[in-house]
Chains A and B, each alone.
Chain A
Amino acid sequence: MIRLTRVELRRLAARRIGWFTLFGVLAIVLVTLAGVFFQARDLDLARAGMNEDYAQVLADHERFEAQCLQEEALERRRTGDPAVDFGCTDMQPPTIEEMYGTMPSLAEQYGFLLQGLVYPFAFLALVMGSTAVAAEFSHRTMGSWLTFEPRRTPVVVSKIVAPALAALPVTVAGLALVLVGVPAVFRWFRLDDGVSGQEWVDLAWTAVRLVVVAMAAGALGAGAAFLVRHSGVVVGVVVGYLVLVEGMLGGGLSAVQPYLLGRNISAFVQDGTTWETWTNCTGFDGCEPVRHSLSMAHGATVLAALVGVVLLIAWARFRTADID
Chain B
Amino acid sequence: MGVAMSADEGLAVATRGLRKTYRTVRGRRVAVHGLDLDVPAGGVHGFLGPNGSGKTTTIRMLLGLTRADGGTMHLFGTPVPQRLPEVVGRVGAIVESPKFFPTFSAERNLTLLADAIGTPRTRVGEVLDSVGLGDRGKDHFRAYSLGMKQRLAIAATLLKSPDLLIFDEPTNGLDPAGISEIRQTMRRLGDEGRTVLVSSHILSEIEQIADTVSIIGRGRVLAQGSVAGLIGGGGETVEVGVRHPGAAIRVLREAGFTAEWMARPTGSDAAEGLRHRYESTEEAGLLTVTGAEPAEISRLLGQQGLWVERLVPSRRGLEQIFLELTQGEGLPAPTVDAGAVGQQPEAPHTRTDREEAR
Interface set of A (CB-CB < 8 Å, partner B) = 3-4, 6-7, 10-11, 14-16, 135, 139-141, 143-151, 320, 322-324
B88: A residues at CB distance < 8 A: 147-150
Closest residue to B160 on the A side, CB-wise? Answer: A148
Which single member of A4, A7, A10, A147 contacts B95 (CB below 8 Å)?
A147
A147–B112 touching, CB < 8 Å: no
With an 8 A cutoff between CB atoms, is B117 at the interface?
Answer: yes
Q: How far is the CA of A6 from the CA of B115 in the complex (A)?
A: 9
CB distance from A128 to the nearest CB of B (A): 16
The one of A139, A150, A322 in contact with B99, judged by C-beta atoms closer than 8 angstroms, is A139
A323: chain B residues at CB < 8 Å are: 65-66
Query: Given that A14-B104, A150-B84, A150-B88 are contacting pairs, would A143 and B116 also be in contact in the complex, using a CB cutoff of 8 Å?
Result: no
* Pairs A-B, 4 closest by C-beta atoms: A322-B66, A150-B64, A140-B99, A7-B115
B136 at the interface (CB under 8 A from A): no
Q: Name the distance in Å between B95's Cβ and chain A's nearest Cβ.
A: 6
Q: Is B46 an interface residue (CB 8 A)?
A: no
Indicate if the CB atoms of A143 and B115 lie closer than 8 Å. Answer: no
- Selected from B84, B108, B118, the residue in CB contact (under 8 A) with A14 is B108
Cα of A146 to Cα of B62 in the assembled complex, Å: 12
Q: Are B115 and A139 in contact (CB under 8 A)?
A: no
Q: Which of B65, B104, B108, B115 contacts A146 (CB 8 A)?
A: B65
Asked if B156 is an interface residue, CB under 8 A from chain A, the answer is yes
Given A146-B63, A147-B63, A149-B116, A16 contacting B103 (CB threshold 8 A): yes
Partner of B112, one of A10, A140, A151: A10
Nearest A residue to B57, CB-CB: A322
- Closest B residue to A151 by beta carbon equals B85
Q: How far is the CB of A143 from chain B (nearest CB, A)?
A: 5
| Residues of chain B lying within 8 A (CB to CB) of residue A146 | 63-65
> Which residue on A lies nearest to B109, using beta carbons?
A141
Closest residue of A by beta carbon distance from B108: A14
Expressed in whole angstroms, the Cα–Cα distance for A36 and B111 within the complex equals 45
Give the residues in chain B near A320, CB-CB below 8 Å: 67
In the complex, what residues of A have CB within 8 A of residue B66's CB?
322-323
Q: Would you give the shortest CB distance from B163 to chain A, in whole angstroms? A: 15
User: Taking CB as reference atom, which chain B residue is nearest A143?
Assistant: B65
CA distance A117 to B190 in the complex (A): 59
Q: B102, A139: Cβ atoms under 8 Å?
A: yes
Return B355 CB to nearest CB of chain A, in Å. 33
The answer to whether B115 and A148 touch across the interface, beta carbons within 8 angstroms, is no
Those of B24-68 within 8 Å (CB) of chain A: 60, 63-67
A-B contacts, 23 listed (Cβ < 8 Å): A7-B116, A10-B112, A10-B115, A11-B101, A16-B103, A139-B101, A141-B100, A141-B101, A143-B65, A143-B95, A144-B95, A145-B113, A147-B92, A148-B113, A149-B116, A149-B117, A150-B64, A150-B84, A150-B85, A150-B88, A322-B65, A322-B66, A322-B67
Chain B, interface size category, equals 20 to 34
B217 within 8 A of A: no
Chain A residues near B118 (CB-CB < 8 A):
3
**Which residues of chain B are within 8 angstroms of A148 by Cβ–Cβ distance?**
88, 113, 116-117, 160
Give min CB distance, A226 to chain B, whole Å: 15
B259 is an interface residue with CB less than 8 A from chain A: no
Residues of A within 8 A of B102 (CB): 139
| Minimal beta-carbon separation of B92 from chain A (angstroms) | 8
- Contact of A147 with B93 in the complex, beta carbons under 8 Å: yes
Compute how far the CA of A4 lies from the CA of B64 in the bound complex, rounded to whole angstroms: 19
Q: Which residue, of A4, A15, A148, A322, has the highest number of chain B Cβ atoms within 10 A?
A: A148
Q: Is the CB of A150 within 8 A of B81?
A: yes
A232 CB, min distance to chain B CBs, angstroms: 18
B101 x A15 contact (CB < 8 A): yes
Task: Let me know if A141 and B99 touch, CB within 8 A.
Answer: yes
Q: Residue of A at shortest CB range from B113?
A: A148
Q: Which of B130-152 contact A (CB under 8 A)?
A: none
Q: How far is the CA of A14 from the CA of B100 in the complex (A)?
A: 14
Contacts of B160 in A (CB 8 A): 148
Residues in chain A near residue B156, CB distance under 8 A: 144
Find chain A residues with CB under 8 A from B117 CB: 148-149
Q: How far is the CB of A158 from chain B (nearest CB, A)?
A: 9
B91: interface (CB < 8 Å):
yes
How close is A75's CB to chain B, nearest CB, in angstroms? 80
The complex places the Cα of A151 from the Cα of B88 at a distance, in Å, of 10
Q: Which residues of the partner chain B approach A151 to less than 8 Å between Cβ atoms?
A: 85
Closest to B118 in A: A3
Could you list 4 further interchain pairs (A-B, Cβ under 8 angstroms) beyond the known A146-B63, A148-B117?
A146-B64, A147-B91, A148-B160, A320-B67
Q: Is the CB of A4 within 8 A of B116?
A: yes
A135 to B65, CA, bound (A): 18
Choose from B64, B85, B99 the contact partner of A144 (Cβ within 8 Å).
B99
A interface footprint on B203-214 (CB within 8 Å = 1, 0 otherwise): 000000000000
Contacts of A16 in B (CB 8 A): 103
Q: B81: which A residues are within 8 A, CB to CB?
A: 150
The answer for the CA separation of A184 and B345 in the assembled complex, in Å, is 78
- Return A148 CB to nearest CB of chain B, in Å: 5
Q: A322 touches which one: B60, B91, B92, B108 (CB < 8 A)?
A: B60
Instruction: Flag B175-187 by CB within 8 Å of A: 1 or 0 each.
Output: 0000000000000
**Complex Cα distance A279/B104, Å?**
60
Write the nearest CB–CB distance from A139 to chain B, whole angstroms: 6
CA of A215 to CA of B99, assembled, Å: 29
A147–B91 alpha-carbon span in the complex (Å): 8
Q: How many Å from the CB of B63 to the closest CB on chain A? A: 5
> Among the interface residues A150, A320, A322, A323, which one has the most CB atoms of the partner chain B within 10 A?
A150
A10 surroundings in chain B (CB, below 8 A): 112, 115
